[in-house]
Amino acid sequence: MSINPAVRRFSFIITATLLTSISSSLYAESSVEQRLGRLENLLSSQVLMEQSQRVEQIQQELTSLRGLLENQENQLSLIKQRQRNLYQDIDRRLNDLEIKGVGSSVPTAAANTVSSDELASSIAPPSSSIDAVATESTTAPLSLSNDKNGKSAYTQAFNTLKEGRYKQAIVEFKAFQKSYPESAYAANAQYWLGETYSVSRDYKTSLDEFQKVVSGYPDSNKVEGALLKIGFTYYEMQDWASAKTALELVINKYPGTTVARKAKERLQRMKREGR
């Protein structure tokens, strides 16, 4: 049976159309894949660039922070050096006041509790004295025939205290008191004996020694400092009522002075602590 030419042409057209459609579809699919590939490459390059820029930014920030840290460390070092210089200057002035100002009837802040507080900053802390106490000499110094007022003996004991050799300082202060009971330095020696026991954390004995300053040397410029220290010592002994009473006595007896200010500060501290 022969096929009609018209049908044959129609079949050819349909076949050609289908082939063209398939070819276009394949080409389009290939083109899409290529575009996706180019897009992925572009995005990948952009991400890498952004990451690189971020890393560089972080490095710059770290460099800046490192510079700030070094600057602060330098400033801290300068502050520490200034403090050391200040303590050394205070220590020198303190020694001059203790040696030259003994016997003065005019009480001054520098000659009282301020000096004792600054001394606590310049001498070794109690924890560092344990080994030294166990090994140091505890021989009392001999009285010197030409040391009629006990100045040399007092200075030696005071310097021993500043060095943090508390047990030896106690021996020397007591030897001074025994050898020079009428010395102009007696009240000061009694006060620093109390301070020596205080930094050694023997608060009961320290309290007794400070009370001896008040009772034995009522006209001394060390009395107001001793009264303040009595309040501080009661605080360390956790006798809150006695501490409050002693500190209020200082405030009432020496209004507007350094010891009064320090007493108020300690009372405020007790209040914050709920004492």
CB 99 within 8 A of CB 152: no
What pLDDT score does 38 carry? 75
Residue 14 covered by a domain: yes
Q: Same domain, yes or no, for 18 and 53?
A: yes
Largest Cα span, the chain: 158
Question: Which CATH number goes with the domain that contains 130?
Answer: 1.25.40.10
Q: Same domain, yes or no, for 70 and 192?
A: no
Q: Same domain, yes or no, for 146 and 265?
A: yes
Residue 56 covered by a domain: yes
Q: Same domain, yes or no, for 256 and 182?
A: yes
Tokens of 129: 């004295």
Residue 95 covered by a domain: no
Indicate the SS3 state at residue 180: coil
Q: Can you tell me the distance from the alpha carbon of 225 to that of 109, in angstroms, rounded to the nearest whole number?
A: 9
- Provide the Cα torsion 47, 53, 55, 60; round to 10°: -170
Q: Same domain, yes or no, for 43 and 116?
A: no
Residue 195 covered by a domain: yes
Q: Same domain, yes or no, for 127 and 200?
A: yes
The 3-state DSSP composition of the chain as helix, strand, coil percent (nearest 5) reads 75, 0, 25
Q: Same domain, yes or no, for 131 and 63?
A: no
Q: Same domain, yes or no, for 15 and 63?
A: yes
Residue 92 covered by a domain: no
Q: Same domain, yes or no, for 157 and 216?
A: yes
Closest CA to 163 of 95, 81, 113, 242: 95
Half-sphere exposure in the Cβ direction for 49 (13 Å, CA)? 6
Q: Same domain, yes or no, for 181 and 251?
A: yes
Closest CA to 240 of 201, 266, 215: 266
Q: Same domain, yes or no, for 132 and 22?
A: no
Residue 94 covered by a domain: no
Indicate the SS3 state at residue 114: helix
Number of domains in the chain: 2
3-state SS record for 57-81 = HHHHHHHHHHHHHHHHHHHHHHHHH
Residue 53 covered by a domain: yes
Q: Same domain, yes or no, for 126 and 261?
A: yes
What pLDDT score does 239 carry? 95
Closest CA to 183 of 216, 150, 155, 209: 150
Residue 87 covered by a domain: no
Residue 27 belongs to domain spanning: 1-77
In a structure prediction context, what are the per-residue pLDDT tens digits for the chain, which is 275 residues long? 555 666 666 666 666 666 666 556 555 556 777 777 777 777 776 666 676 677 777 878 888 888 878 778 877 777 766 655 554 455 555 555 555 555 443 333 333 443 445 454 444 444 433 333 333 445 545 445 556 788 999 999 999 999 989 999 999 999 999 999 999 999 999 999 999 999 999 999 999 999 999 999 999 999 999 999 999 999 999 999 999 999 999 999 999 999 999 999 999 999 999 98
